[in-house]
Homo-oligomer: A and B are copies of this chain.
Amino acid sequence: MTIRYETYGTLSENGDNAILVEHALTGDAHLAGYHTPEDKKPGWWEAMVGPGKAFDTNRYFIVCSNIIGGCSGSTGPRSINPDTGRRYNMDFPVITIADMVRAQKRLTDHLGIRKWLCVAGGSMGGMLALQWAISYPDSVNSIIAIATTSRVSPQSIAFNWVGREAIMGDPTWMNGNYEQQPMRGLAIARMLAHITYLSDESMRKKFGRHLQDSTDYSFEFDKDFQVESYLEYQGTRFVERFDADSYLYITRALDYFDISDTAHGDLSQTFANIHMPFMVISFSSDWLFPAYQSQELVKALLKCGIDTTYCNIESSYGHDAFLLETETLGSLITSFLTNRYVEVKA
């Protein structure tokens, strides 16, 4: 199994400063900075990672690991199956968030890290962080779970279902055995998901009913409104960088995520044997993983006597706020991590 990862900063001699940052659904290991001077964009959480930033590389050793099932350098459905010499495609096993964490545990051992100072992530990355606390409580000193949930809701499952139907309904998908991406289906899945990452309010602010290229309605079916151009652009860019089969596997892993499952639905039972501090952060306009879902999580943590910091950040950016509200988020993470680091040093 291959796991792509990147590291930032330096591991301390006693290994007490290592932080694992988890990426979201379509993210990757390229957390911050540029690989080459030609790169148009830095890593996906550039504002949060670097010298003096929240994930301060002067102080901490930051690891960002791609997930299994992904398509950004780690083993996934498009990898070669050594048994057949051909791509797995849909023969790849259905994976869960717990499987992704299990793979990351092997990376952790490989890196010689005995205990993470913190495992942190937003969206699906938050689920990975929560799963770390449950699967390997002795290997984690603290958890930061941002814009996430302890159990994926039927509304999210429904959106994932429709996205997968679009991919699997594209005849160029060929039951997963494509050579060329099922571009149209994957773009539809992405455009749909993208709506759930924004909010009604942010879309009104960003696009309103403004037209893209004209002063009056075209009364045609081609894109007319700015929001239509935006979605089409997002869909087109996405198929250039992400794989359709990976999209199927990772969204399915989300559907199955419910950490109350093994405790017969009782979330506080889930945390019964866990003692590390948590920071939970939600955003007021996030309707994909709404604040009430973070609050359910926080209540269960508090019921278990776990040291829990919670903040619902006022923002109009919707779910995407975890990538955009970097100033507020940065200050919260800075102080949480500083406290954890002081504790560990003590």
- Chain A residues with CB under 8 Å of chain B are 90, 93-94, 96, 151-155, 157-159, 161-162, 164-166, 168-171, 184-185, 187-188, 191-192, 195, 198, 200, 203-204, 206-209, 217, 219-221, 223-228, 231, 248, 252, 255-256, 258, 287, 290
Decide if B188 touches A166 in the complex (CB within 8 Å): yes
Decide if A162 touches B221 in the complex (CB within 8 Å): no
Decide if A169 touches B185 in the complex (CB within 8 Å): yes
If A94-B220, A153-B200, A161-B227 touch, whether A258 touches B209 (CB-CB below 8 Å) is yes
If A165-B188, A170-B169 touch, whether A154 touches B203 (CB-CB below 8 Å) is yes
Decide if A161 touches B231 in the complex (CB within 8 Å): yes
Decide if B200 touches A290 in the complex (CB within 8 Å): yes
Chain B CB within 10 A, most for which of A188, A198, A290? A188
Starting from the known contacts A157-B227, A161-B223, A221-B248, 16 additional A-B residue pairs (CB-CB under 8 Å) come to A90-B221, A94-B219, A94-B221, A151-B209, A154-B204, A154-B206, A157-B209, A157-B228, A158-B227, A158-B228, A159-B195, A161-B231, A162-B191, A166-B169, A200-B287, A217-B256
* Copies of the polypeptide in the assembly: 2
Minimal Cβ-Cβ distance residue in B for A160: B228
Minimum distance in angstroms from A307 CB to a CB of chain B: 29
Minimal Cβ-Cβ distance residue in B for A193: B162
Decide if B169 touches A203 in the complex (CB within 8 Å): no
Minimal Cβ-Cβ distance residue in B for A152: B209
Chain B CB within 10 A, most for which of A154, A195, A206? A154
Decide if B188 touches A169 in the complex (CB within 8 Å): yes
Decide if B153 touches A165 in the complex (CB within 8 Å): no
Decide if B192 touches A227 in the complex (CB within 8 Å): no
Minimal Cβ-Cβ distance residue in B for A192: B162
Minimum distance in angstroms from A320 CB to a CB of chain B: 14
Decide if A154 touches B221 in the complex (CB within 8 Å): no
Minimal Cβ-Cβ distance residue in B for A190: B162
Decide if A255 touches B162 in the complex (CB within 8 Å): no
A221 touches which of B168, B224, B258, B290 (Cβ 8 Å): B168
Decide if A161 touches B200 in the complex (CB within 8 Å): no
Decide if B166 touches A166 in the complex (CB within 8 Å): yes
Query: What residues of chain B lie closer than 8 Å to A93, measured between beta carbons?
Result: 219
Query: What residues of chain B lie closer than 8 Å to A224, measured between beta carbons?
Result: 255
Decide if B221 touches A158 in the complex (CB within 8 Å): no
Decide if B165 touches A191 in the complex (CB within 8 Å): yes
Query: What residues of chain B lie closer than 8 Å to A225, measured between beta carbons?
Result: 154, 157, 255
Minimal Cβ-Cβ distance residue in B for A203: B154
Query: What residues of chain B lie closer than 8 Å to A187, measured between beta carbons?
Result: 165
If A153-B200, A153-B204, A256-B219 touch, whether A195 touches B158 (CB-CB below 8 Å) is yes
